[in-house]
Amino acid sequence: MGITRVDLNVSLDGYMTTTDQTPEDPFGADWERLTAAYTATRTFQLRLGHEGGTTGLDDAHIKAESHGIGAEILGAGMFGFHAHPEDSDWQGWWGPNPPFGVPVFVLTHRERESLAMEGGTTYHFLSASPQETLARAQEAAGELDVRIGGGARVVKNFLRAGLVDRLHVAIVPILLGRGESIWQDLRGFEEGREMRSEVAESGVVHVVFEPRSS
């Protein structure tokens, strides 16, 4: 069986969500600053069908994020349910060929049939505890890892339930002062884990906690 992994962009003061969204600017200026180094990478630009992009440490970390993943877990918001409450045929805002390429377990109270997309992504919809959801995802992932893709509250639930083995935070050197903090109630998370940290050319500090290799 693989491990359970989380990758996040967080501000230096620990916020993984931003608060300055408006109808005119649905992501907001803070989100752009929080993800600027991430979206500037070659790997991300390729996903958009663009050429170019950075090829340093930020890019290496993004590449590693999708490597070895056999199933993904997403909250309802990440699938777009909240933005499209009336559309009973909504297929997610990741398009007909989503970037996952693996079974994706979407946490929602809606009852929906599983949805097979192009490129290997199949969405499964369920309402279950983090433990039950993870068991389903692990079964689908086989020998590979499970990634908790977000959003913030889903990640927090899995972290606080002690279900995350490997945590990668890309700490962006800006102070947001408000939002959803990743760091609440994680006292002692480092115990039994190896830590390494590296500074990317962008100034982003990548910190990884992972199970000690025995």
Is the CB of 76 or the CB of 163 nearer to its own copies?
Answer: 163
CA–chain centroid gap for 190, Å, is: 20
Is the CB of 21 or the CB of 108 nearer to its own copies?
Answer: 21
Residue 186 beta carbon to its own copies: minimum distance, rounded to whole angstroms: 5
Is the CB of 1 or the CB of 199 nearer to its own copies?
Answer: 199
Is the CB of 36 or the CB of 144 nearer to its own copies?
Answer: 36
For CA atoms 157, 160, 163, 165, give the dihedral sign.
positive
Tokens matching residue 81: 């349910």
Residue 169 beta carbon to its own copies: minimum distance, rounded to whole angstroms: 8
Residue 134 beta carbon to its own copies: minimum distance, rounded to whole angstroms: 22
Residue 156 beta carbon to its own copies: minimum distance, rounded to whole angstroms: 13
Burial class (CB in 10 A: 0-12, 13-18, 19+), 158: buried
Residue 211 beta carbon to its own copies: minimum distance, rounded to whole angstroms: 15
Query: Which residues, in sequence order, are CB contacts of 151 under 8 Å at separation 6+?
Result: 17, 74, 75, 77, 78
Angle at 136 between CA 133 and CA 138, to 5 degrees: 105
Is the CB of 46 or the CB of 199 nearer to its own copies?
Answer: 199
Sites of contact with its own copies (CB under 8 A): 12-14, 171, 173-178, 183-190, 195-199, 203, 205, 207, 209
In the chain, the amino acid numbered 149 is: G
